[in-house]
Amino acid sequence: RRSNRICGVAALAPRLSKTSRISLTSTSFSSAVENGSTPSSSGEQIKEKEKGGSEISVTPWNHPSIAERAKNPHAFRSRQHVNPLASKFQQHTVLPEDWPRDVFDDLSKPLFLDIGCSRGGFLLDIASQRPGDYNYLGLEIRPIIAFQAQQRVPKHNLVGRVDFVGCNANVDLERLLTLYTEANNNSNNHNASVEGDTCNLKMVCIQFPDPHFKSRHAKRRVVTPELVETLAQFMPPGATVFLQSDVQPVLDEMRRQFREYNEYFEDANESLSDYVEENIFGIPTERELSVLERGLPVFRTTFTRTTRTADLSS
């Protein structure tokens, strides 16, 4: 189903050494501003010079203007919708050279992935309540929102357990999970029972994604066949995918995408008219609270990774 798989993905995307990194932290953004970087806001990936002459790639998520915008008390009022197919969001995000070793204290822990994490409130809440259960990773495409989520980690005393990456999940997910797998396999505390491409990705949630209501915008939705294939490649048997939305057709479409790969993912309910009644974590997102307070329904389902090994080379 896919012609290119894991090999070489990480090497093709931009990474930075410890001395020339730009990541989603206030220090790195401020440094970029001080160094006089003035990149364009177009979709073209731009190279800028740091002190010492090394080149860095400027993307929507490490753009120096974000640090300036963050100084404004109204900075985090962000557009609710972005076009993930826009050229600027088709770039690979820039990661520290040692990611994820430099953000997670214990790489032997299973990974909890929140795709479309917004400001990170859900992950911060669950990590605070269950700090020893997982390493928590949130992905968010909106740059200023991803920046705010990253800023909240030290305020919740969760450094080393939670990380937020500004990126387009449909561009960078395979790369991120490849890097995590490599680090997990090389960890001194690596669980020997986890083999191959599996990175001990035990939990994935996609909650209240952008619905992109217009039919011509349906291709912008986050759950695509490629995303499902990537999750199948990296999730071990018994791992869980949790989906929820307050827009029933959006949930049903996400569900349909996973059901297309029923050899790898088993729906909790056989009938498409049946849904999971409760949030399986017992910890609502901000959006979920807002919906429930208005007395509106939330549609949910879960999938369990089967024992079949993912073979997606054809």
CB atoms within 10 A of CB 49: 13
Rounded CA separation 106/142 (Å): 28
User: Which residue do the tokens 């307070």 mark?
Assistant: 293
Tell me the longest C-alpha to C-alpha distance in the chain: 61
User: DSSP letter string over 269-290?
Assistant: -SSTT----S-TTS---HHHHH
Rounded CA separation 153/239 (Å): 26
Nearest-10 crossing angle of helices 225-234, 169-186: 10
Rounded CA separation 190/107 (Å): 7
> Which of the following is catalytic: 210, 246, 252, 267?
210
Q: Which class for 225: exposed (0-12), middle (13-18), buried (19 or more C-beta within 10 A)?
A: middle
Task: Give 305's strand partners.
Answer: 265
Q: Is 210 one of the catalytic residues?
A: yes
Q: Looking at the chain, which runs of residues are DSSP E strands?
A: 15-16, 46-49, 55-58, 95-96, 111-115, 135-140, 162-166, 201-207, 240-245, 265-267, 299-305
User: Which residue do the tokens 């826009």 mark?
Assistant: 86
User: DSSP letter string over 192-240?
Assistant: TT--TT---EEEEEEES-----SGGGGGG-S--HHHHHHHHHHPPTT-E
Query: What amino acid positions are annotated as catalytic residues?
Result: 210
